[in-house]
Amino acid sequence: TSYTGDATYFATGSGACGWDTTTNNNIVAVAESMFDQYGDSDPNNNPMCGKSITINYGGKSFPAVVVDRCTGCADGDLDYSQNMFEAIIGSTSIGRQTGVSWSFD
């Protein structure tokens, strides 16, 4: 299954999965609606945590790992680490890029 949505970026740290992350990691947060449908009362145990995905944009593919849930994301959207956003989309001054596709590996 392939998803298409907006790309944004977030401040890294300890997210819903409970993992410490940095801006240098190739990490993403998926939409809250997607993340929560697989979880229980402890988000650290959510099976979405650690899932590998491939992002396709501008004719290139980029690997990433799910480490968080994005409360401001619609279905299909991804929230990227800052460095990953800059590598894939460009300057963070863009803020949001539409039409980015991705899939679980």
Q: Domain containing 60: what range?
A: 2-104
Separation in Å, CA 62 to CA 74, 83, 88: 21, 12, 8
pTM of the model: 0.91
Residues in the chain: 105
pLDDT in tens, 46-98: 999 999 999 999 999 999 999 999 999 999 999 999 999 999 999 999 999 99
CATH code of the domain containing 51: 2.40.40.10
Asked if 8 and 85 touch (Cβ cutoff 8 Å), the reply is yes
Total domains in the chain come to 1
